[in-house]
Amino acid sequence: MSYSDVHQSYGRCRRAGNFVDRFYERFLAADDRVAAAFQTTNWSQQKRALGQAVSTAISYAEGESFVAPTMEKMAEVHSRHGRVPVEPELYGVWLECMVETAREVDPRWEEPLAQRWRGALSPAIDLFIERY
C-alpha cells in the first residue's frame, strides 16, 4: 500500500513549521495520563524524535522492511517492561491528536486525508499494542 499522499501531507505540515508543537499542545491537554507521562521530558529531543517517528510509521504502513527494526525498537520502549510504558488505551488519543493537528496545519488539507492518515498510522499502533 502506498501512502505517498500522507507522506506529502506530513511534509506540508512540517514545512508549515508548527506541527510538532501543536501536536504536543493537543496531546498533553487530551488526557491527564499523557501530561503525567511527559513531566520530566527533554522537549527539544522529544520533538525531534516524534518528527522522525511519524515518517517511520508511515513507511512501516507501506511495508518498507528497512524501517521494521526501528519500529520494533520504538514498540519495545513503550511496552509494559520498557523505559516508557504506554497503556494501549492512549493510542486512540494519540491518533486523533495527530489527525486533528494535520487537519489544522496542512495548508492543502482535504477531508479524505483524515482516513488516509488513520490508515497510515494504524499498523504502527497495532504493533505497539501487540508488543505491550
Q: Among residues 20, 74, 113, 120, which is the contact residue for ligand HEM, using CB under 6 A?
A: 74
Q: How would you class 97 by CB atoms within 10 Å of its CB: exposed for 0-12, middle for 13-18, buried for 19 or more?
A: buried
d(CA 115, CA 2): 14
Q: Any contact of residue 6 with ligand HEM (CB under 6 A)?
A: no
Q: How far is the CB of 119 from ligand HEM (least distance, A)?
A: 14
Nearer to ligand HEM, 19 or 108 (CB): 19
The site string for ligand HEM over 29-58 (x = CB under 6 A, - otherwise) reads -----x--xx-xx----x--x---x---x-
Cα 117–Cα 1–Cα 112 angle in degrees, nearest 5: 35
What spatial distance separates the first Cα and last Cα of the chain, rounded to whole Å? 26
Angle at 28 between CA 15 and CA 130, to 5 degrees: 90
Binding to ligand HEM (CB under 6 A) within 93-112 occurs at 94
Residue numbers at the binding site for ligand HEM (CB under 6 A): 34, 37-38, 40-41, 46, 49, 53, 57, 74, 77-78, 84, 86, 90-91, 94, 124-125, 128
